[in-house]
Amino acid sequence: MKLTGWQRVLLILIPFLLISGIFQFAGALLFNIPLYANGEMTSLQKMVLALFNLMGTITIVWFFVCRIDQEPFKRTGLMQPTPIAGLGIAAVLTCAMFVVGFFFLEWWGELNFVAIQFDFAAGFYLLVAYLAIAILEELLFRGYVLRNLLRSFREATALILSSCLFSIFHLLNLTISWLGAINIFLVGLLFGIAYLCYRSLWLPVCIHFFWNFSQSLLGFRVSGQDAYSMIVIDLPEKNSWNGGDFGFEGSILAVVCQLVGIALFWRFYQKKKGLAG
C-alpha cells in the first residue's frame, strides 16, 4: 500500500531522532566530546557534532526518499538550482535585519556593547557548523516534511503544519520561551515560503545559515545555544525585547521582522506563481 504524504511525515520522525542521535553519539565518542555539556563545547566540537548530525540526516532522508517513497533523491530540492542574485539578496536582507535589530536594541538600552573578540578559527568552525545545521534542517523539514505535506494538504495548511513540527523539535532547547516558540514557528513559515519560490532547498538554506550565523557573531544566543561571538554584549535585563537567554529569536522585535519577511516572500512567491501560470 502506497503511503500518503502526511503518513510519510509521521513515519520519518522517530527514525530521524534515532539515526541523528546515533550519528552524533558516534561523533562524540570518536572525538571525545561531552554530549551533555553543550554550553562548554568548543566551536570545533560543535562543528564535528553538526557534521555528524548532517550525515545522519542525509542517511535517513535518503533512505525514506529512495527506499520507502521510491523516488529520486533530487526530489528533495537539494540539487535544484536557485538564482545567485536571489541568494545574494536573501543573504543581505537577513544580515541587515539583525544588524538593524542590534543597533535598535542598543539605542533602546536593551543591550550594551562590551568588546570585539576576533578568533578566526572559532569563526570558521562556527560557519561550517551553522551551514551543516541549515542544510540538515532544511533537508528534513522543507525537503521532506513540507514537500510531502503538500501532497496531502493545501499550501497554507502544509506550511503551518511543517512550521509547527519545526517549532516542536526546537522545544528540546531548555531555554526556549513561549515567544521563542512562536518565533521558531514564524521562521519556519519564512523558510517554507522561500522553498516554494523555486522548489529548491538553497534559498531557505541561505536564509537559515545567515539567520544563525549573524545572530551568533552579533553576540546573541542562537535558539538558546551559546557559541563564539565576534561581538560581546551584555543584557542589562533579560526580557522579551532582547530575547533573554534564548537570543534574538525570543524577542518581540523578531516577531515584527519575521512578519515583514513572510509578507515579502509570500508576495514574491504569488507573483512568481502568477507569471508561471
β-partners of residue 232 are 115
Structure confidence at residue 34 as a pLDDT band (50, 70, 90):
confident
Highest mean pLDDT among 83-92, 129-138, 216-225: 129-138
Cell numbers for 121: 578559527
Give the residue from 242, 122, 233, 132 showing the smallest Cα distance to 180: 242
- Condensed to tens digits (0 to 9), the pLDDT of residues 102-137 reads 999 999 999 999 999 999 999 999 999 999 999 999
Give residue 225's pLDDT band: very low, low, confident or very high (50, 70, 90).
confident
Nearest to 42 by CA among 105, 98, 124: 124
**Residue 22: is its pLDDT beyond 90?**
yes
538593524: which residue's cell?
A: 100
End-to-end CA distance of the chain: 34
Predicted confidence (pLDDT) per residue in 180-211, tens digit: 899 999 999 999 999 999 999 999 999 999 99
pLDDT number for residue 228:
85
pLDDT mean across residues, the chain: 92
277 has pLDDT over 70: no
Q: pLDDT band for position 218 (50/70/90)?
A: very high
pLDDT for 224: 80
- Residue 262 to residue 246: CA distance in whole angstroms: 22
pLDDT at 38 over 60: no
Reported confidence tier of residue 56, pLDDT bands at 50, 70, 90:
very high
For the chain, what is the HEC assignment? CCCCHHHHHHHHHHHHHHHHHHHHHHHHHHCCCCCCCHHHCCHHHHHHHHHHHHHHHHHHHHHHHHHHCCCCHHHHCCCCCCCHHHHHHHHHHHHHHHHHHHHHHHHHCCCEEEEECCCHHHHHHHHHHHHHHHHHHHHHHHHHHHHHHHHHCCHHHHHHHHHHHHHHHHHHCCCCCHHHHHHHHHHHHHHHHHHHHHCCCHHHHHHHHHHHHHHHHCCCCECCECCCCCEEEECCCCCCCCCHHHCHHHCHHHHHHHHHHHHHHHHHHHHHHHHHC
